[in-house]
Every structure is written in structure tokens, then in C-alpha cells.
């Protein structure tokens, strides 16, 4: 059964938060609306060490499968930093609306995310975290 969670319940990895804060400090006005959304998410998150991170939480470089509830379409992607983004290989920037939406959520969670065309509900079907040594 899908569950809906509140943004206050997202979990972020401490090393990701440090890197994201650096990124947010470097962003210019051209991505202000996207960086503001990410900053808001980071500010509400519970921050944990890798040792305390549940295995089903989406972190930076996690590979994720989501289902768009409006049409049932499945999509696989990896959440990455902006300079690593590559649409052809489903590598989505954390500054993109979907990238920001996914970060910190868990397998089974429903995510309502506002996009220019309205609100889309995604359900996280699977999460594969990156190898910590990578």
C-alpha cells in the first residue's frame, strides 16, 4: 500500500547536506526558484550519518524507480549534481523539480510535487543507493 508522507519526514545523508549547502551557496540567480525549493527541503530534513541511513532512502547518486500515478508510467533515474545531469542516461539534477522532490524520500512513499503543469504524484517503487566507496 502506498503511503503519503510529510516533507518534515525526509532523511538526508550528512555528507550530501554538506555538498548541497556548498552547491546552494554557489548557485546564481538563473536557478533561484529551483535552489530555493532544494534549500527548503534541506532545512526540513532529518540529517543522519551513513551508518544510521536506512537502505531505502534516496540519497545523491541513488538509482530510483518511480511510478507517475496519473498515467502509471514507470521511470528510472539517478539523482545527481547539476554538472553530472544527462537526460539521455536518466541522470536528473538535484536542482530539477523531480530531483529535488525525490531526495530524502523512501521506497513506498508517495510524493506530491508541483510542476508548471500542475501537481504530479509519484510513488517510489525502488531505491538503490550508491556504493559508499564510489
pTM (two decimals)? 0.80
Task: Please give the pLDDT value at position 31.
Answer: 59
Q: Tally the domains of the chain.
A: 1
Quote the domain boundaries for residue 89: 3-128
Model confidence pLDDT, tens digit, residues 87-111? 999 999 998 888 888 999 999 999 8
Rounded CA gap, 2 and 82, in Å? 30
Q: What is the CA radius of gyration of the chain?
A: 14
Flag whether 44 is in a domain.
yes
| Residue at 133 is within a domain | no
What Cα–Cα distance (Å) separates residue 46 from each residue in 1, 4, 86?
A: 24, 17, 29
**Each residue of 5-31: pLDDT tens digit?**
344 478 999 999 998 888 887 766 555
Q: Which 3-state string (H, E, C) describes 76-94?
A: EEEEECHHHCEHHHCEEEC
113 located within any domain? yes
State the CATH number of the domain containing residue 76.
3.10.50.30
Determine the Cα–Cα distance for residues 80 and 91; give it in Å rounded to an integer: 6
Is 75 inside a domain boundary?
A: yes
| Short-list 17, 12, 26, CA closest to 83 | 26
- 38-70 pLDDT, tens digit each: 888 888 889 999 999 999 999 999 999 999 998
Amino acid at each position: 500500500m502506498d503511503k503519503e508522507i510529510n516533507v518534515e519526514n525526509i532523511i538526508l545523508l550528512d555528507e550530501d547536506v554538506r555538498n548541497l549547502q556548498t552547491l546552494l551557496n554557489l548557485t546564481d540567480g538563473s536557478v533561484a526558484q529551483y535552489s530555493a525549493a532544494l534549500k527548503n527541503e534541506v532545512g526540513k530534513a532529518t540529517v543522519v550519518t551513513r551508518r544510521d541511513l536506512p537502505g531505502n532512502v534516496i540519497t545523491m547518486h541513488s538509482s530510483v524507480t518511480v511510478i507517475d500515478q496519473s498515467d502509471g508510467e514507470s521511470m528510472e533515474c539517478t539523482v545527481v549534481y547539476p554538472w553530472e545531469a544527462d537526460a539521455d542516461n536518466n541522470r536528473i539534477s538535484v536542482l530539477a523539480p523531480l530531483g529535488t522532490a525525490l531526495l530524502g524520500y523512501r521506497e513506498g512513499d508517495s510524493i506530491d510535487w508541483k510542476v508548471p503543469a500542475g501537481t504530479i504524484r509519484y510513488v517510489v517503487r525502488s531505491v538503490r543507493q550508491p556504493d559508499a566507496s564510489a
